[in-house]
Structure 1
């Protein structure tokens, strides 16, 4: 069993997006659906395909820092501010598993680096297409939608 969708949204995703100055209902819904489809909202965090709620691979994590965040020092500083002071230096990729706000910030930065515009927050098919583009190119939009219904339920739980 993972984290309750409403708790993840209220205590992790929404505050992280607000902290980054990136909050929108669509961004929140996309990250919640991504966590549902990637890890069952944290039911399975240890996977060969990546770390944590969003299953982010070490190479993608490193490339995001090198090719996206390094170009915006203020944003990089805000994201780095979410990471543990000493643990990040020793094992930066482990932060994706143990630090939910940092993992959420990195997941959002991956979206931002690849997507200019999000669909409406109630457009599950559109959100699924963004998820597929950013997180699982070989996945099916139905995987996202099924995970949403299984783990999140109705859209009213996000609002």
Structure 2
């Protein structure tokens, strides 16, 4: 069983986006959908395809730091501020599994780096295309919609 979507949004996604100066309902919805599709909202945090809530690969994580954050020292400092002081230096990719705010910041920056215009919060088909482009190019957009319905819509209607 993963994290309740409302709790994940309220306690992790929204505060992280606010911290980064990127909060919007569309960004929150997209990150919830990515977490639902990648890990069933945290029910499965690690496997061969990536680390943590958003299943970010070590390669994508490293490229984001080397190609994007290295060129933006202020942003890099803010993101680094979310990571554990000592653990990050020894095992930076492990931070994606154990630190939800750090993982959310990295997931958001991967999206922001590749997607210039966010789809509307209620446009699951368009969100699915962003998810596919950024996180899962070999998977089908219908998987995103199914995960959203299974993990977010179903849980929200049961509450």
TM-score (norm 1): 0.96
Aligned length: 157
Q: Which residue matches 2:22?
A: 22
Question: How far is the alpha carbon of 1:67 from its aligned partner?
Answer: 0.1
Question: How far is the alpha carbon of 1:86 from its aligned partner?
Answer: 0.5
The whole-number CA distance in structure 2 between the counterparts of 1:25 and 1:132 is 20
Say yes or no: does 1:129 pair with 2:139: no
Q: Which residue matches 1:141?
A: 141
Consecutive unaligned residues in structure 1, runs of 5 or more: none
Q: Which residue matches 1:108?
A: 108
The whole-number CA distance in structure 2 between the counterparts of 1:46 and 1:138 is 19
The whole-number CA distance in structure 2 between the counterparts of 1:16 and 1:121 is 18
Q: Which residue matches 2:85?
A: 85
Question: How far is the alpha carbon of 1:58 from its aligned partner?
Answer: 0.5
The whole-number CA distance in structure 2 between the counterparts of 1:46 and 1:107 is 15
The whole-number CA distance in structure 2 between the counterparts of 1:80 and 1:145 is 32
The whole-number CA distance in structure 1 between the counterparts of 2:120 and 2:60 is 27
Say yes or no: does 1:46 pair with 2:46: yes
Consecutive unaligned residues in structure 2, runs of 5 or more: none
Question: How far is the alpha carbon of 1:139 from its aligned partner?
Answer: 1.2
CA deviations over 1:70-117 (Å, ceiling 9, x no partner): 111000000000000011011000000000000000000100111100
The whole-number CA distance in structure 2 between the counterparts of 1:43 and 1:137 is 22
